[in-house]
Copies of this chain bind each other. A is one copy, B any other.
């Protein structure tokens, strides 16, 4: 695969200092005391951060717009503006104790990519839209990836608008607030045709760092199934009820968890099995627990393995629950997906041409790219993050790696935008 000569010069217009400065500036919106970011979806901090992005885009002639799901677009118009555009970007909402790079890097690298095209005087054939998807994290309004789900019709807009946060504020109210703060921006329809989508992101894992590679060409996103397990026993007095008379929900839940851990164990360490939430009722030191409700998060890159492992869960729970009743409810089943070669080849070629060391890598985490994958040819570019840490205030990435990621994204996007 060869790129036109002017392409090479685009990557050279990526300004590492400016890109780094913008990461630090954006992180001021929702900055925490520990150097992290608390900029949850549709918060006031996100409103001001969006305005900063719009300002940076308009300064170089990009046209800002938004849609009914609160997604934000900054368009570099192509020479054939009637063709479906290429979208590049990610999200700028964060976890409550998040970092400066998860999501923000993908949006700022996309902005830097079109800024480099502008600086190089290299106008692409198709328009290129920088996009910031609404509520990827899902920490305030669950589940996440709402903006990309609504855009691609994976979820109905009406369903998303009816979600409320922990204190009862609705998505509908907060999207209305965000759009009201951007009265100068024209609206875009949901689900318009897209030629391709590329998302750059920190890896959120330790592999690139360990392998000494700067770019991860993401092969796909592993599948994910989630369950809610309810173990029901009987409340009793800790001092008076003999063990033989108890139906202790915690005793049964612990046995169930150990049985599941054993069954999900794989020597290759590919299965991702996590019990992250575990709630005991009544949760009092001198009361034998009556109920335990816990979550299961199961992920695997192979469709059949994910199906088989997940399908075993109800029987495993029932067998290990002892005297207590157990109920298993599946909440989500997203099969694994593989990004198309057409996009992955372009990313590999861009990295190779620029002399940046790369490797193929699967994505353990979900991303907006999951939903876009079913809407248009999609790919992802990873860069290393310090110690593999993410969703953490100490999350970090280097100036050089960020710039390298932006260079590969700029070349990839320009190539895709010049396609027929």
List residues of A whose CB falls within 8 A of some B CB.
95-97, 138-139, 142, 144, 203-206, 222, 224, 226, 234-245, 248, 250-251, 254-255, 257-258, 261, 269, 271-280, 282-289, 295, 297, 299, 363-366, 388-392
Contacts and interface: CB of A to CB of B under 8 A. Distances in A.
Contact of A277 (B144, B255, B280, B389): B280
A293 to B, nearest CB: 11
Contacts of A203: 240
Contacts of A271: 243
B251 A261 contact: yes
A95 B282 contact: yes
Contacts of A286: 138, 144, 274, 276, 297, 391
25 contacts: A95-B284, A96-B284, A139-B287, A203-B240, A205-B241, A224-B239, A238-B272, A239-B365, A240-B272, A240-B388, A240-B390, A241-B272, A242-B272, A250-B275, A250-B278, A255-B258, A274-B286, A274-B287, A275-B289, A276-B286, A278-B283, A278-B289, A286-B297, A286-B391, A287-B391
Contact of A297 (B96, B238, B251): B238
B388 A241 contact: yes
Contact of A285 (B238, B245, B295): B295
Contacts of A226: 285
Closest 8 CB pairs of A and B: A240-B364, A238-B274, A285-B295, A205-B240, A239-B365, A239-B364, A204-B240, A238-B297
Given A204-B239, A238-B272, A285-B295, 14 more contacts: A95-B282, A97-B235, A206-B241, A234-B392, A237-B364, A239-B297, A239-B364, A244-B269, A248-B274, A254-B261, A276-B284, A277-B284, A279-B283, A285-B297
Contact of A257 (B144, B254, B299): B254
